[in-house]
Structure 1
Amino acid sequence: MELGIRSNRLPAAIFAIAPAAAVLTVVLSIIYGAADISAAEVWQAVFAFDQGNINHQIIIHSRLPRACGALLIGACLAVSGAVMQGITRNDLASPSLLGVSDGSVFAVTFCMIYFPQISGGSLVLVSMIGSLLGALLVFGLARLIPGAESPVTLAILGTLIGMFLNGVSDAAAMYYHIPQRISFWYNARLNQIDPTLLLLCLPFALAGLVLVLMQAKSVSALSLGEEISSGLGQRVRLVKGLAMISVALLTGISVALAGKIAFIGLIIPHIAKKLGGADYRMAIPLSGVLGGLFLAVCDLISRLINHPFETPVGVVTAMFGVPFFLYLIRRKGGGRRG
């Protein structure tokens, strides 16, 4: 049995215009902010950088990393959500709902308490480990509770575990007097992305995305059910293990760079599957493209809602995510897909 990719011109058109859309989004993201900057000055900053020009400094060291970081983080979270939905056959699965992002923040918090001078690279590693532990905790408990693997119940369990991890982290931060230091990871702040850390994370994020793409066919088979997947010659446990490692890698990088951002991994995979079909060889790369653009646009909107003041980007993603989440609950109910 061979899984085919739906013949559809729309995904091809999206991939074709994505580079231009990304460039346009980056340019707009650089231009608009607390202080507007002209397009001509953006051009000069990129191709004729003047160290003494304050606007050039803002463009190169703040707004450009912010825009590129939004594209990368959005892609990582959307791809993570697509993989999680595929391997769990759960349309409500996403890093923010099933404890993956919360585990990352939990690990970062305790790392900042006991190892405050940790390097950026080590912090990213800790964030990845925390993501994996958060996922293992949620799915481990789901196996012990009858009926907990249904979509809504698993989402509730993930939310409860996330609240528990966040509560412990908050209590520890208050006790050790570091709430200001860790507030970054609880409230997504793309404007505080560290350009050096972004460059450090880039090859790991690309490696994670490539690893996911290599597993896309296996995820498609697994999304049909474990029995069908085994019948197609897939090693189910190996596929799930590699998939969760990939999710932990991509989510850990995202949280380490900009903190916890919700709903991207929930919304975008559904849109990608609607546009390109249920085959994850198409859904995964399409999720990455749409996720990057979605977060970058949300970040731009966050600066325009109450200009010149900034609205947290998490508020903007929630404006789209909460209604979508309620729609999925209404449509899917408590039943498991398939």
Structure 2
Amino acid sequence: MEQIRKDQLTKKDTQKRLMKRLSAPHPAALILILSIGALILIMTASISIGVSDIGWRDILESFTAFDSSSTSHVIIRDLRIPRILAAALVGAFLAVSGVIMQALTLNPLASPSIMGVTSGSAFMIAVAFAFHPQSSYWQLILWSFAGAGLGTGMVFLIGSFSKRGLTPVKLALAGAAVSALLQSLSTIIAIHFNVARDISFWFAGGVAGVRMESVRLIGILAFAGLIVAFALSRSLTIMGLGEEMAKGLGIRIGWIKFISVLVVLILTGAAVSIAGTVGFIGLVIPHIAKKVMGMNYRWVIPGSAVFGAGLLVLADMAARTINPPYETPVGALTALIGVPFFLFLARKEGRG
């Protein structure tokens, strides 16, 4: 009886210390505020820089005194603002998806692009173009969500056959295999049904040509996903201590995992439906955020959203300026950062 009482007191003390840690002020708050300010500056600079450089005065006047006869004003309002907002949203969605996937699987290699989620979304969009060419934008979003679920399910199904369990490297290898398979099938569909031109945008990845209507539609849905992700932050932090500890502290593991997977599918499906297969943001950004913000997901999740948004806005700005007047695929630029980072992590995990 005395031992049970001691165990209960120990559990209560652990819970009190954890709750105090989660509620205590954190220097990450200041970092987050500064990061949001930097993101605003980057987005403003992105409006100015491009094939046609636009002065700051034109930018200000396009908001305060819009003139439809001014070429600069039209470029700002109809072309650059929608694509910059889309880039920020997509970067945030992919980064937060990566954070949640890494927290759920305790796998530092987990990300939407590596775990087959983005390839699954692109595959189902190819199917939609081939068999339902009249699909509306909302229908394409649903196809993208379904593909995200398909890719994730295939990766975990293949990984489950492993005799020694789902190690980080095995999951990453299963994700690479599933991604390659789905990309090959997408290419076959594109060639056979003569829709290669229609789906080439999703394979290259980018936000060129995005309209404000699309940004509004996807923003409302995925913004709700970000709110739910932030609401899960406390539970994800506690689950990082181990499932037994989390259960002892009253966390409903099954429900948290189910809701988290839904959030990942929504955010990734939304990102692919608007920007195609932009890879590695969901891998690189969560590690940077955890390094800067600490291991409290109350700060890691919003930090990842801001960092991911900033990275993709910068990548889109580079895509417009590297080889003007042609556009470089944004997915190629993010891969230049992501592939070496992935190889470094895989080598590190392989040693472990």
Q: 2:130 aligns with which of 108, 113, 121?
A: 113
In structure 1, the residue corresponding to 2:111 is in which secondary structure? coil
2:221 to 200, 204, 207: 204
Partner deviation per Cα, 1:120-171 (whole Å, 9 max, x = no partner) = 1121122112112211221122223223511111101001001111111110
Counterpart among 182, 198, 210 of residue 165 in structure 1: 182
Superposed displacement of residue 188, structure 1 = 0.8
Q: CA deviation at 1:229?
A: 2.4
The 1:227/1:162 distance shift into structure 2, 3 A limit, reads: same
Contact 1:95 1:251 in 2 (8 A): yes
Summarize deviations over 1:88-146 as a string: whole Å, max 9, x none.
00000000000111111111111111111111112112211211221122112222322
Counterpart of 1:57?
A: 74
Task: Could you tell me which runs of 5 or more consecutive residues in structure 1 were left unpaired when the two chains were aligned.
Answer: none
Indicate the larger mover: 301-310 or 21-30: 301-310
Match of 2:210 in 1: 193
Shift of 1:224: 2.8
1:53-92 correspondence runs (5 A) = 53-92=70-109
What SS does the corresponding residue of 2:160 show, helix, strand or coil?
A: helix
Partners of 1:16 and 1:45 in 2: how far apart?
A: 27
- What is the CA distance between 1:328 and its match in structure 2? 1.1
Tell me the secondary structure at the aligned position of residue 145 of structure 1.
coil
**Which residue identity is paired with 2:192?**
Y
Which AA in structure 2 matches 1:217? R
1:135 to 145, 148, 152: 152
Aligned-residue offset at 1:12: 1.9
SS at the partner of 1:189? coil
Structure 1 residues 196-235: Cα deviation after superposition (integer angstroms, max 9, x where no partner): 1111111111100011111112222223333332222222
Deviation at 1:334, TM superposition (A): 6.0
Matched, 1:276 2:293: yes
Please tell me the residue identity of whatever aligns with 2:250: G
Which among 39, 47, 50 is matched to residue 30 of structure 1?
47
Question: Equivalents in 1 of 2:54, 2:238: separation in Å?
Answer: 49
Pick from 249, 252, 255 the counterpart of residue 238 of structure 1.
255
- Bigger shift: residues 227-236 or 211-220: 227-236
Counterpart residue number, 2:350: 333
CA distance in 2, matches of 1:7, 1:315: 39
1:172-192 deviation line (CA, Å, top 9, x unaligned): 111100000011111112112
Q: Distance in 1 between matches of 2:164 and 2:116?
A: 18
CA-CA distance at 1:7 after TM superposition: 5.4
Alpha-carbon RMSD across the aligned residues, in angstroms, is 1.7
Question: For residue 314 of structure 2, what is the aligned residue in structure 1?
Answer: 297
CA distance in 2, matches of 1:228, 1:334: 28
Where structure 2 has 5 or more consecutive residues not aligned to the other structure, the ranges are: 1-13
Deviation sequence 1:264-306 (CA, Å, 0-9, x none): 1001111111111112122111111111111111222233333
- Give the match for residue 201 of structure 2: 184
The residue type equivalent to 2:43 in the other structure is: V
Deviations 1:22-48 (A, max 9, x none): 221122111111111111111122221
Matched, 1:322 2:322: no
- Contact 2:39 2:306 (C-alpha < 8 Å) held by counterparts: no
| Alignment partner, residue 248 of structure 1 | 265
- Once residues 124 and 76 of structure 1 are traced to their aligned partners in structure 2, the CA distance between those partners, rounded to angstroms, is 14
Which TM-score applies when normalising by structure 2? 0.90
Aligned AA (2:315): C
CA distance in 2, matches of 1:61, 1:334: 50
Partner of 2:115: 98
Residues 134 and 334 of structure 1, relative CA distance in 2, 3 Å threshold: farther
Q: Which amino acid aligns with 1:157?
A: A
Separation in structure 1 between the aligned mates of residue 116 and residue 164 of structure 2, nearest angstrom:
18
Structure 1 equivalent of residue 302 of structure 2: 285
Q: Which residue of 1 aligns with 2:3?
A: none
Residue identity in the other structure for 2:265: A
Contact 2:206 2:316 in 1 (8 A): no
Cα distance 1:232–1:150, how it changes in 2: closer, same or farther (>3 A)?
A: same
